[in-house]
Structure 1
């Protein structure tokens, strides 16, 4: 009986040993295999020091020597909207709102060089925004927001590179002014509008005067041209008469005078007034002479 009990005890002890070995193997295998999700990276330490960084997929480590120290998400993160005061180059106090997006690309730097990543980035962005806005006047801040955003992004990227972080976006959301500054700017804007209206009205009056002067000048030029044409015509007629006198002598003069008298009588006869015309006695002789000359020329 005692031998049977001793054999059973040995059998139970042996089975228990096998069971413990099986459990140990299962635990060892479980600890040796690490399955890393696509959106994470694992930081592995050995004896308290950085040993490796595991990427997505199945990874093997040395159980009981290596341990999982940090699970780091590599997804893009957005910091809460940051608001801070800044003073422009022309001494205007503005309230700036910024938004920063980043992701961790080197976890071994992030976990061993910085404790609070979000707070560190927020402080860095606030300092850079104040510094950059302090180099610009208010009008430049409003009009060059895109270039200012790019400058802030590059400056933040240069600072956080040692932390294993990539800044994907840095947006300047809004630039707000206090009430007193808004009122002053509104007054300035109204004054500028009034000035532009006055300038436009003055330019309109100036243009009107210029157009009127151009019209008067054009009219004077046309009148001068008309007088020049009339003078040329009279000069031509005078030359014709002079040539006729030079060729025909006194007869040409008498013919011209008689022709003018006939034209004058025709004009008087065609008028709407009295049809009674008094003709001097010597006018008949002039008519006769003119008819003789006409016949002679015919």
Structure 2
């Protein structure tokens, strides 16, 4: 398998099942049954003529009646509109339901589906502003709002919409850097919708939304970007840790200054530490303290320690 075929197979495998499968056909059974019924009814005079005996004049009249009936009566579905031409010029838009045309003078030129149409499109190897090739898949939601313009202004409007969407996507990708594609995805969708709306409004087509579905970049570049993001996260973590240590050091400096100014506060803190050690050891720990520590237990300090121990239970 050639490289191009492998790439196309890989792209196809990335598409969801709904996109890879064929477009579901709309049920036209009612229209077909009506046309069959019209044909049978219109062919009855011809059948009677042939049954009762062949006559050239009557056969011609019956054939003319059959063709006239088939060219006169038409039926459209609920979601369809039909552009009717009279002698090659636009005359009116009919549908849904039954409508009539003048045989040989008028014709139903185009049936327009006015439901929302979903068109997947892509930009393969589109270069970003920093010259990085990317493959981008997107989905376009649109509908025909003016059948007259869709018939008169552009030939094969579904293909025109698809190609316009692909061109607009390539232009939008070429104006931004690779790092901005993911962060500006919603903004990029809005820009594409506005660009396509301005281009297709004259075609009688309304662009409902554009949604970027997938962004692929070269594998080696993915690894580089992953390492860069990891390094950035580690750098941020180190900065946060340094800031926290700096705040703790400042608190220690403030506490040391407080203890330096108030010896009673220092003695209470030391007694509290002793009390916590005793409670953690269940009263079985041997605690060694400097001899100068006992000098702090004077009458005034003992009262403060008594209050402290009472609060701690």
TM-score (norm 2): 0.60
Q: Could you list the runs of 4 or more consecutive aligned residues of structure 1 that deviate by over 4 angstroms after TM superposition?
A: 15-27
Alignment counterpart, residue 151 of structure 1, candidates 174, 178, 191: 191
SS in 2 for 1:80: strand
Match of 1:263 in 2: none
Cα distance, 1:30 vs. partner? 4.4
Cα distance, 1:218 vs. partner? 0.8
SS in 2 for 1:62: coil
SS in 1 for 2:120: coil
Match of 2:74 in 1: 34
Alignment counterpart, residue 108 of structure 1, candidates 110, 129, 148: 148
Match of 1:130 in 2: 170
Cα distance, 1:180 vs. partner? 2.1
Aligned pair in 2 of structure 1 residues 207, 24: CA closer, same or farther (>3 Å)?
Answer: same
Aligned length: 214
Cα shift readout 1:157-180 (whole Å, capped 9, x = no counterpart): 111112222222211112222112
Q: CA RMSD in A?
A: 2.9
- Contact kept, 8 Å, 2:124 with 2:136, in 1: the verdict is yes
Alignment counterpart, residue 92 of structure 1, candidates 132, 139, 143: 132
Residue segments in structure 2 that go unaligned for 5+ positions in a row: 1-51, 267-313
Alignment counterpart, residue 161 of structure 1, candidates 162, 187, 201: 201
Aligned pair in 2 of structure 1 residues 119, 68: CA closer, same or farther (>3 Å)?
Answer: closer
Aligned pair in 2 of structure 1 residues 221, 87: CA closer, same or farther (>3 Å)?
Answer: farther
Match of 1:79 in 2: 119
Matches of 1:69 and 1:205, distance apart in 2: 79
Matches of 2:187 and 2:262, distance apart in 1: 60
Q: How does 1:198-213 map to 2 (within 5 A)?
A: 198-213=238-253
Q: Does 1:53 align with 2:89?
A: no
Aligned pair in 2 of structure 1 residues 116, 59: CA closer, same or farther (>3 Å)?
Answer: closer
Match of 1:142 in 2: 182
| Greater displacement, 208-217 / 190-199 | 190-199
Alignment counterpart, residue 210 of structure 2, candidates 166, 170, 187: 170
Match of 2:108 in 1: 68
Q: How does 1:8-23 map to 2 (within 5 A)?
A: none
- Contact kept, 8 Å, 2:148 with 2:204, in 1: the verdict is yes
SS in 1 for 2:102: coil
| Larger gyration radius, structure 1 or structure 2 | 1
Match of 1:231 in 2: none
Match of 1:197 in 2: 237
Cα shift readout 1:207-242 (whole Å, capped 9, x = no counterpart): 23212111111102213999xxxxxxxxxxxxxxxx
Q: Does 1:183 align with 2:220?
A: no
- Contact kept, 8 Å, 1:84 with 1:126, in 2: the verdict is no
